Structure formats: structure tokens, C-alpha cells
Amino acid sequence: MAYNAYSLKEVASKPERLAPGHRMCAGCGSTVAVRAVMRALRPEDKAVVTLATSCLEVSTMTYPYTSWEDSYIHTAFENAAATTSGVVAGYAAKKNKGKLDETYKFITFGGDGGTYDIGFQSLSGAMERGTDMVYVCYDNEAYMNTGIQRSSSTPMYADTTTSAVGVDSVGKPQYKKDLTAIMAAHRIPYVAQTTFLGNFKDLHHKAETAIYTEGPAFLNVMAPCPRGWRYEEADLMDICKAAVETCVWPLFEVVEGEWILNYEPKNKLPVTEYLKLQGRFKHLFKPENAVLLERIQDDVDRRWEELRLRAGAL
């Protein structure tokens, strides 16, 4: 299905590959991301899903039950991409020997802890080797499964259990790692950044492109967590929209090295419109922390202009 021929009704009518009844929290972004990515598969294609230890894993795969309709592998926190690499190699060997006729796609899911941090060497290696797979990071910006500890994906000044706000702390002091750009630096065929907006057109297009691109592909999906970000369950879509409209989380893709900006706000909103929706940034709105808000805005503006320059939008 081409991007321009996208039909919400047609896509939504596809059978679900992640069954309902799992134990994920209401308002969680990770299962929304998974359902959208898996829906990009063609009905005739089978998939092998590899999942690093995470909230998503413990809540969708409790032995002897599973929410996954496709073949599923639970692997360790640090080696999801390496596990998929081995499976892809085994599949190719059987194909070459004529022992398999079916077409399989290989999709790995990991949170930011298992992607930005603990599993980064495994991911980088798989991408560098050219493994024909899709790695999807559902980025909820902390180690949510083990108690909301900060990760290298956690934004500056966010309140977490290991960067707690107090008398001598205003949250995490470091910048968020730009993993999407790092993956683009691997010079793989396809890299994209997306989240949940409106009719999911952007997410569907990028998931489908990633799955059906020959060679390694990487998809970074902002997937908010209601417990860690401290928002009301119904506000999930509003937060994602605000992230895009403030340019905190721009929508772009890198196709064979070419940077493409998919959306440019007509009226770029101030970053406070995004931050005020989340309890983890509540402390920033105290009068004495106004300078911190300015620092965040300056960083967002700088990175936005850098992206526009890379994409030839300046």
C-alpha cells in the first residue's frame, strides 16, 4: 500500500496481531505503538517478534499465555537485536536449502532502556552487519518497568526516581540522547521518527516502509507512559500532538542517507505547551525555575533548526 493510497478503514480492518486482554496500563503508549506497527504487515506475511525484557514483555507474555499472534521470542534486556540477527541467519539458511517457503518479517521491539542504553551495542552491531530486520524503539524516556529510573533517553530536568527533584536537584541534568540521528549515522537504508497523531498516517507509512525495506531499518516511536510521565490516561494523544507541534519530537525519516522532514508546524508552539501536560515537569513552572524553561526552549529551537538544515528546509 503506497503512502498516498493510505486508507484508515482498510488498515483498521486488518486482524489484530496483538490480542486484547493483556496487562498493560490504560493510557500506555507502547501497546498503541506495537498494534500500529504490526498492522503494517501484509496479511499474507508472517512475522517473528523479538522483545527485550520490559513492561511490554511481562504484561503480554505470562506463561503459559501470550497476547502475540505471531511467533514470539522473549530475550534478555541487552541482546534483543543480536537474538533477531541469529534468527534471521537461521531463516536464510533454511530458505537457501529449500526447507521453508513462507515469507517471514523480523521485528524487534525494545523500550528506551533496552535500546538507548543496555542494548545499544547489540543494536549497533546488527545494524552495521546489515541484518534484514526492523528494530522498533517505543520510547517512554525512562526505565518504567523497574521503577521509573532515568535513562539516556530521559529529557533534561525530568523528575524520575534516580533524578528526583529536591532541594539540591531540579531533575536530570543531562540532555536526552539523539538516538535517531545516531542510527542514521550507521548509514542503514531506513531510519524514521514518529508518534501517534490523528489517523496514524505517519506511523503507518513509516512502519510499512521499515518492514518492507530490504536490509536493516530503525523506527523510533514516542510512546508516553502515564505512570512515569504523570498524565491522565485520556491525554495520551494530546501529549503526542503537543510534542510534534512544539518540535520536541519532530517527524522525519532518513532514506538511504537523505533526510526528509515530514511535518513542519505552521505555528510552532512554545515548549511549555508540551511540558505543562506532564507531572514530571511540574517543578519547572515555579518562578525560580524560569531559566530552566528558557534553556529547554533554546535547546529545542537549536535542534529543530539543525534538522531543517539537514532536510534542506532552510
- pLDDT for 50: 96
Query: For the segment 217-230, what is each residue's pLDDT rounded down to a tens digit?
Result: 999 999 999 999 99
CATH number of the CATH domain containing 300: 3.40.50.970
Grid coordinates representing 124?
Answer: 549497533
Question: At CA 118, angle to CA 55 and CA 120, rounded to 5?
Answer: 115
Instruction: Provide the pairing of β-strand 104-111 with 46-52.
Output: parallel
- pLDDT for 291: 98
pLDDT at 2 over 50: no
Task: Give residue 13's domain range.
Answer: 3-310
- pLDDT for 199: 82
Q: How many helices (H) and strands (E) does the chain have?
A: 12, 12
Going by C-beta distance under 8 Å and a sequence separation of 6 or more, which residues neighbour residue 171?
A: 156, 157, 158, 159, 160, 163, 164, 165, 280, 281, 283, 284
The arithmetic mean of pLDDT across residues 115-142, rounded, is: 97
- Alpha-carbon distance 1 to 10, whole Å? 10
- pLDDT for 6: 60
Contact 19/72 with Cβ under 8 angstroms?
no
pLDDT at 121 over 60: yes
Contact 269/242 with Cβ under 8 angstroms?
yes
- Alpha-carbon distance 203 to 37, whole Å? 8
| DSSP for 168-196, written as a single string | TEES--SPPP-HHHHHHTTT-SEEEEE--
Contact 234/27 with Cβ under 8 angstroms?
yes
Going by C-beta distance under 8 Å and a sequence separation of 6 or more, which residues neighbour residue 96?
A: none
Instruction: Provide the pairing of β-strand 165-166 with 134-139.
Output: unpaired
- pLDDT for 160: 98
Query: For the segment 192-222, what is each residue's pLDDT rounded down to a tens digit?
Result: 999 999 889 999 999 999 999 999 999 999 9
- pLDDT for 5: 55
pLDDT band at 278 (very low <50, low <70, confident <90, very high): very high
Query: For the segment 172-183, what is each residue's pLDDT rounded down to a tens digit?
Result: 999 999 999 999
Contact 191/207 with Cβ under 8 angstroms?
no
- pLDDT for 12: 77
- pLDDT for 143: 97
- Alpha-carbon distance 35 to 51, whole Å? 14
- Alpha-carbon distance 103 to 100, whole Å? 8
- pLDDT for 58: 87
DSSP H helices, 48-200, are 55-60, 80-96, 112, 120-129, 179-184
Total number of domains constituting the chain: 1
The arithmetic mean of pLDDT across residues 160-189, rounded, is: 97
Phi, psi of 183 (to 5 degrees): -70, -35
The position carrying cell 506511523 is 203
